[in-house]
Structure 1
């Protein structure tokens, strides 16, 4: 017997509502294009692409082994910022430009070029979680830094990914925080801190 639109679905909702939920689930779980494909689509959105690509020599190598920033590098970094706000970025260590965001600490990926500054990174994460606690009325502590990206501004900025535990509620959350380091170096500003967000993939 055919089920009418007003009849009940096994999940306890009407069939038409179940169909809508399935459609939304299908939309959310549709296959995300590979990053290379997303990057090509993103590059096409630059109205000044021709200007950025002019006189570009991808084979030019600087004395330190890096190359000048290309249009592809610019678009790739902008895509990282769009999708993850700078908390997950590609490897730009081959780019000889101070404006890139570099991963300086990520033990899981065997990146430890910033390990010397780990005590400062931990202090920044603690400052960020204290600000979060004050804003949200929480009691997170016991900070564990997972990953850190750095950008050369003011004079530098940390993109921190870290875990913290709230003993009063017995929960552990992963956080993201952007912290600016000023001159003198002891002055730090937490730009924002939040529970880690999923990527916002570019899928036009």
Structure 2
């Protein structure tokens, strides 16, 4: 019986890990996926947020979890932010329900992501994924650096913009800002553990951001 329980637990952990990295990949590469004609109408970013919202409702209906004191503070902050946004819209004479709903939806996405992560994954799950997350980030930075070098030698994705004397590189992304943001987040993941061993990849990521020539990076 015990080996069977361990086997089931391992399967659940593997499924959770697969779900976790699928979501991260979709979030990081949503702009790239959005350039595929058959998937443009999906709006990957909003689709992911909506799926997470449905997930929160389903998880709470199946296995309710109580809200902690700190999370009441988080919800309170969300309400304050939404109210400030509504007052800002009124002050700017924006009364369109459509724009107000879109503003509220945009603001709540990060809160939805937090609560989905808390409900979908067990305590300690994220800590258990750090090593995989670092390897995953190294692969992404390594591949994008290789594409950058190839593109500098032979422009597969030609640049249409020069900033600060640099031909900005978009690579597979529709805009340099998205390339810069993806690499930046991967560099953040590399900072989670044993940073000194990740310095070569941090330097590679910095090079990609340099050629993206975006202040956000």
TM bucket, shorter chain: under 0.3
Structure with greater helix percent: 2
TM-score, normalised by the number of residues in structure 1: 0.24
TM-score, normalised by the number of residues in structure 2: 0.23
Quick one: higher RCO (CA 8 Å, sep 6+), 1 or 2? Answer: 2
Structure showing greater radius of gyration is 1
